[in-house]
Amino acid sequence: MKISFSPKYPVIWFAEYHQNIKELKIPKCLKCNELIKVIDYNNIFCPKCNTNNITWDIEQGAKRIDIDHFIIEFDENGESTIEYRYLPLDGLITFGLLDPSTSVAYGIEINTGYITIRDFTNNSEPFYLATGINTNSVATNLIKVSDAIIKGEAKLELYHSKQAIIGGNMRVSLLNLETTTQFKMDPNNLTIDNIAVGYKCQIHDLDFEVIIRIDCNNHLPYFTSKTKKQEN
């Protein structure tokens, strides 16, 4: 995966799909007029309106995007491809962050919860890290979160954010720079500080979260996690 343009952000998201998928089809709800995130192409409905009154017509606002195994946040002209929240989950393998300066990608494998690290410069195979919870200092008490996701005992929810600094001291989380207009912010006064992907899931009586956060100043990835006991 090569970047032949200068993206808006120091780090951009990427999504990997099964190789037989050559086009992403994203329908639009005719009731609320919003795009629909497809979880299963055999059962499509708008979760907001609870309706299957949808359209695939591009002229009515539906989207069709050609892909070659991967799709990234921007196309070859530097224009945004699609908001990540509308990426179909059906056929998705990995969602993560790509550092254009190093061609190294850090991702979340959807069906396993594994963290993947891949160097596209050398076309190397991904390096995998499983996730887990150690409830105390005894190693045998390890809860293997990745194993639970593989078995279908835990379902992950993807996470993505961009954190910006405004005027040198105020921190805000943004989905994209266009969000700044909503809060009457000056994009020229914004500095993207870090960009993150991750996932949340419930396992046993715990809420678990793991995040890959890349510092946009030193381009180092920071892997963080937290666990919280669910409230009754």
Q: Are residues 44 and 148 in the same domain?
A: no
Look at the chain and report how many structural domains it folds into.
2
Whether residue 95 sits in one domain with residue 38: no
What is the bridge-based pairing of β-strands 206-215 and 221-229? antiparallel
| Token duo for residue 205 | 């009586």
State pLDDT tens for residues 163-197: 876 655 555 555 444 444 444 444 454 577 889 99
Residue among 58, 65, 67, 94 at smallest CA distance from 82: 65
Averaged pLDDT for residues 64-75: 92
Confidence of residue 230 (pLDDT cuts 50, 70, 90): confident
Residue 96 lies in a domain: yes
120/28 same-domain check: no
Pair (159, 102) in one structural domain: yes
Q: What is the pLDDT of residue 164?
A: 74
Average pLDDT, the chain: 85
Share of the chain above pLDDT 70, in %: 84
Same domain, 113 and 179: yes
Same structural domain for residues 53 and 85? no
In a domain, 7, yes or no: no
Q: Is residue 37 located within the same domain as residue 130?
A: no
pLDDT of 130 reads 93
Q: CB 109: neighbour CB atoms within 10 A?
A: 22
Residue 192 and residue 85 in one domain = yes
211 belongs to a structural domain = yes
> Is residue 135 pLDDT above 90, yes or no?
no
Confirm whether 5 is domain-assigned: no
Separation of alpha carbons 86 and 26, rounded Å: 7
The dihedral of CA 88, 85, 204, 211: what is its sign? positive
More confident site: 14 or 76: 14
Q: What is the mean pLDDT of residues 96-117?
A: 93
Quick check: is 1 in a domain? no
User: Rounded to a whole number, what is the distance in angstroms from the first to the last CA of the chain?
Assistant: 46
Domain ranges, residue 111: 12-22+67-229
Q: Is residue 157 part of a domain?
A: yes
Supply the pLDDT for residue 106: 96
pLDDT given for residue 137 in this prediction: 53
Mean pLDDT of 97-119: 93
pLDDT at residue 43 greater than cutoff 50: yes
180 in the same domain as 213: yes
The verdict on 55 and 106 lying in the same domain is no
Question: Is residue 154 included in any domain, yes or no?
Answer: yes
pLDDT at 115 over 90: yes
Q: Is the pLDDT of residue 138 over 70?
A: no
Q: Is residue 35 domain-resident? A: yes
**Do 56 and 83 reside in the same domain of the chain?**
no
CA distance 184 to 7: 23
Residues 78 and 174 in one domain: yes
